[in-house]
Structure 1
Amino acid sequence: MDFQVNILPDPINLGLQLVATLIIFLVLRAKVTEPLKAMLEKRASGIEKDIKVAKDQKAEAEDLKTKYEISLEKAKEEGREIVESAKKRGDQLKEEIISEARAEASVERNRAKNEIEREKEKALDSLKSEVASMAMLVANKVVNKNLDESTHKDMIDNFINEVGETKWQS
C-alpha cells in the first residue's frame, strides 16, 4: 500500500478558501462592522449625554442644597427672633402686670387710708358726742339743776365746737 501524504495544500482549494474568506470578511465588514460602529457611536453619545445630564442634575442638586441650607439658616434665625420677641413681649407684659398691680395696690392703699380717715372722723365725732353727753351729765350733777332743752343744746354745741378745735391725740 502505497500511501502518500501530501503536506502542502492543494493550491486550488487554498485559493478558493482564501477568496471565500475574503468575501465573507468584506460582506461582514459591510453588513456588520458599519452598523456595529454606528451603534457604538450612538451608545457613546448617549452615555456622554447621560453624563452631561447627571452633571447638570448634580449642579442643580448642589444649588438646591445650598438654597435649602440658606433657607434653613433663615428659618433658624427667624425662630430665634420670634423667641427673642416673645421673651421681650413677656418681659414687657410682666412689667405691665407689675405696674398695674402696684397701681391697684396704691389705689387700694389710698382707699383704705380714706376709709380709715372716715372711720376716724366718725369715731371722733361719736367720741365728741359722748364726751359732750358726759360733760352735760357732769355739769348737771355739779349744778344740780335741769336745763331746758334749748339751753342744753346750746351748751352741747359750744362744747363740741371747743373740743373740735382742739387736737385729739390718738
Structure 2
Amino acid sequence: MRRLYAPALLLLLGLLVAGCAKKIDTETATGIGPYPEFSGRLIVIEPKRRWQVSVNWQSSSPEKGWLRLTHAVSGTVVDFRWSHDFMEVRDNNNGYWKNISQQQLGKQGIVLPPQQLASVLLDEMPSHFKKKNGNTWESTASGSLIRLEWKAEKQQLIMTDMLHGRRATLIIQPS
C-alpha cells in the first residue's frame, strides 16, 4: 500500500476487527437491515484527519464474511476476509493473502470486530451493547465507550469511539 494511505486503511480495518473474536450473544432485533450484502461509503473522522473509502460488504452470518475497501484518490484497494477468528488481508500492491491478528489491528482504533459488525448489520445487536434511546446503543466491553447510532431514513450507521475521538459513518446502499 502507499505509505500515506496505509495507516488510514489499517485504521479502518482496526475499526472492524480489533477485539475478541468469539461467539456473539445477541439481543432482539434492532431494525438495522438485514444487510448481508451491500455497497456503500465509509467516512472516517479522526482528531487529525478525515478520509473516505467505498465499501463492498458480504456476510450472511457473523462467523464469515468479506470486505473490500477502495480509496479512489490513492487507488488503494484492500480486501479483508474472516472465518470465525481467522482473518486475512491483502491489497492491490501485494496480491497475496496475509494472516492478521486481533492484536495487530487492536492498536489502530475502535474495537468492533467484523463478527460484531456483521451481527449489527444482520439486525441482531450484540448483547453487550445497551440501548440508550431511539436508535442508539452503547458498550464499554472494549474498555472504551463505543456508541452506535442508526439513522434509518439515510441508511447510515455511525460508530463512535468516545475515548479516542474517532467517528466512522457507514452509508449503506443495498445491492
TM-score by length of 2: 0.16
| Larger RCO, structure (CA 8 Å, separation 6 or more) | 2
Q: Which has the larger radius of gyration?
A: 1
Instruction: Identify the structure with the greater helix proportion.
Output: 1
Instruction: Identify the structure with the greater strand proportion.
Output: 2
TM-score by length of 1: 0.16
